[in-house]
Amino acid sequence: MKKFKYPMLGLDCAACAKKIEEHLNRDKHLKNVLVNFGTAMITFESDLDKDIYKYVNNKIHEVEPEAKIVSKTDFISSSNNALRLLLSLILFILSFFFKNSINLVLILSVYVILLSKTLVTALKKLTNKIVDESLLITISCIGAFFIGEKVEGAVVLLLYELGKLLEDKAINSSRKAVTDLVNFKPEFANNAKGEIINPKDVLIGDIILVKPGEKVPLDGIVIEGISHLDTSSLTGESRLIKIEKGQEILSGSINQEGLIKLKATANYENSTASKILDLVETATEKKTNTETFVNKVSKIYTPIVILLAVLVAVVLPLFLDLSFKQSLYRALTFLVISCPCAIVISVPLSYFSGIGIASRKGILVKGSTYLDNLRNVKEIIFDKTGTLTTGKFCVDYVKVLKGNEENLLHYAVLGESFSHHPLAFAILNYYHQDFDNSKVKNYKEIAGRGISYSLDGKKVKVGNDELVNYPNKVNDTAIFVKVDEEILGYITFTDKLKEDAYNTILNLHQRNIKISIFTGDNKMIAKEVGQKLDVDEVQAEMLPDDKYYELEKKKRKNYLVAFVGDGLNDSPVLASADIGISMGLNGSNAAIESSDIVIMNDNLNKLWEAIDISKLTHKIIKENLLLAFTIKFIILGLSTFGISSMWHAIFADVGVTLITIFNTLRILKH
């Protein structure tokens, strides 16, 4: 099986996308078909190679004659719909200047030009046992013509086609607004000789050049050059980031200044830019309960509407003083009002827009279900180190027990200069004087305890309280220094809180969310952090499986729980949480893969921003559904009693659809 991916034209509603997807998945030559209405893309696997393009289009046309797959070079959303509409409008206006046969010919021309396409679509779908709005419009307009309301029927067609045209433009505008947010996938790379090559041809370890103004094509480590990067496409932050030799940078960033030379650390498919695009493109394929419900209802909605229209036509004359012609007119009006466009378009478009605006802010949501559920989270549990704190230790204070501080630090620095432990780097950064470690002998690392070495015949130990047999308990993270049998003192360390940690917790509390901390750190340090941030609950000295089981207990309380973490040991909890949220800048790959939402720049404030986007998206969906149902039911009631006409009906269909679409676009301005 070979995998294929194509853009699609004529995909103007989520229900259509679902029909195509289900129909193609029943074909023996096609597997794992996914039709993404939000991005207008189709992916599938097939054992066919020759004529696959034609084969798939033929299958699509069986259920959606107006939709088709196109090559990427042909992906231009253009059609002759505007020309057909303009010609029909001219003929319709001319019909008012003529009478009798000429008038009839002009009106008939409008019907032929506009209705022929809708009629063909409706008939093709009927052959595949699919009934949708194209059939409703066809029946109502043909019926209007034959009962003598040919002008109203023509107006319905004109407004319906105008609405479809405006819908296409609004949907394409939304798609463009969203796809532009992540339009940073590099198209080329420069090899070590400066030659332009395809990024897919670059292997891990290859050297590539990035010139000023160019996108970084692959993740890599800087081996030469100094510059500033624009990472706004990745993180949502406009501030430029300084980079120099030894730093790792991500694909999708834009080099602003000098030439930089990189060693690739990931291939094209696994680079950050490609992963982000894949996440955004596939995010809307995971449906919420609302979307699933709408898709299920849309399958039976239209047949029920037709049945009700028949009842209106047949039953009304039995109870009211109406002719069959009058009741038929009301039934036809009923059909136009009942078209479900506003509902089946606005719901998925809202989720797609919400995911898109979140990605622009550096928040990657892996599915509309997670975006929808985020607004209902009642408790957020944070890992401490690297999530609420920087994860980078620094010296807090030096406690001297014998001798002086300079002597204690000198022994510590000589030993730690050979170590790669985070606490060793903290000591070296704190000690600003020159030193010579050439006389250090017999250096040895003692796993889980510290180091030992010899200096001028003296035995030196630098490590925890167990290594030096210190009798008293020190609540802080500490490194002791012992020379021969004397403990000179100890150095304590602190892991600083992130600058935005307090503000984030405050904002989450204002949204009535309980805050907890799960950490493997000791209880005193964890409690101190909890007090500084005013969190509701702190659990410390936890192993990864302790976090997992405690989270499972919380999930039994029948409310949604989110977990925020960044490390490899957080992966099980991130996967288990109702919503797992990982830090994407410094987080481990395992944490990012296990999570449902990724904060690309590690900015904790993005958490409450994401919750606000979730709430706004849900609010707009509710507004759209309430508006659509209210207007449709009101005009349905009025039409049943002959108060409203087809002119009102077309507003209830096309007008309401346009209003809900433009209301949905408000999300993109958040």
Concerning whether 278 is annotated as a catalytic residue, the answer is: no
Distance from C-alpha of 255 to C-alpha of 184, rounded to nearest angstrom: 12
Whole-angstrom distance, CA of residue 203 vs CA of residue 484: 52
Rounded Cα distance, 334 and 637, in Å: 9
> What digits encode the pLDDT tens for the residues 324-370?
888 888 888 888 887 777 677 778 778 888 888 888 888 888 878 88
Beta strand pairing call for 248-249 and 220-224? antiparallel
Please enumerate in sequence order all residues whose Cβ is within 8 A of that of 160, keeping only pairs 6 or more positions apart, or say none: 114, 118, 137, 650, 653, 654
Cβ density class 390-409: b for 16+ within 10 Å, e for less = bbebebbebbeeeeeeeebb
- CA separation for the pair 208, 546 (Å, rounded): 45
* 199, 188 Cβ separation under 8 angstroms: yes
The span from the CA of 591 to the CA of 570, in Å, is 6
Q: Do residues 662 and 167 touch, judged by C-beta distance below 8 A?
A: no
- The answer to whether the predicted template modeling score (pTM) of the entire model surpasses 0.85 is no
Select which of 168, 219, 230, 383 is catalytic.
383
Residue of 511, 570, 276 whose CA lies nearest to 378: 511
Which DSSP state fits 73? Answer: G
Q: What is the CATH number of the domain that holds 399?
A: 3.40.1110.10
280 is written with which tokens? Answer: 């955004």
In the block, tokens 């069986």 appear at 62
Domain finish residue from 243, 267, 291:
267
Query: Would 220 be classed as within a structural domain?
Result: yes
Where would I find the H helices in 417-450? 422-430
* CATH code, domain with 16: 3.30.70.100
Partnered with residue 248 across adjacent β-strands are 221
**Residue 193 forms part of a structural domain:** no
Task: Identify whether the C-beta of residue 366 lies closer than 8 Å to the C-beta of residue 188.
Answer: no
* Ordered alpha helix ranges (H), 361-500: 368-374, 405-416, 422-430, 465-468
In a domain, residue 209? The reply is: yes
Residue position matching structure tokens 């949708």: 132
For residue 27, the enclosing domain spans 2-74
Domain annotation covers residue 417: yes
Task: Let me know if residue 456 belongs to a domain.
Answer: yes
Coil/strand/helix, residue 223 = strand
- Helical residues (DSSP H) of 248-362, grouped into ranges: 272-283, 289-319, 324-337, 341-360
Q: Domain end: 496, 521, 556, which one? A: 496
Count of domains forming the chain: 3
Amino acid sitting at position 130: I
| CA separation for the pair 450, 479 (Å, rounded) | 8
How many Cα atoms occupy the beta-carbon half-sphere of 340 within 13 Å? 23
Asked whether residue 222 is assigned to any structural domain, the reply reads: yes
Which portions of the chain are predicted below pLDDT 70? Answer: 12-15, 38-39, 72-80, 167, 170-185, 232-239, 273, 275-299, 342, 475, 567-569, 585-590
CA 165 vs. chain centroid, Å, equals 28
Q: How far apart are CA 448 and CA 435, in angstroms?
A: 26
Domain presence at residue 324 = no
Domain-ending residue, one of 27, 54, 74: 74
Distances (CA, A) of 656 to 342, 394, 628, 648, 659: 6, 60, 6, 11, 5
Query: Does the residue 64 lie in any domain?
Result: yes
- Residue 297: per-residue pLDDT: 64
For residue 220, what is the domain's CATH number? Answer: 2.70.150.10
Q: pLDDT value at position 488?
A: 93
Contact present, 658 and 166 (Cβ < 8 Å) = yes
How confident is the model at residue 53, as a pLDDT? 83
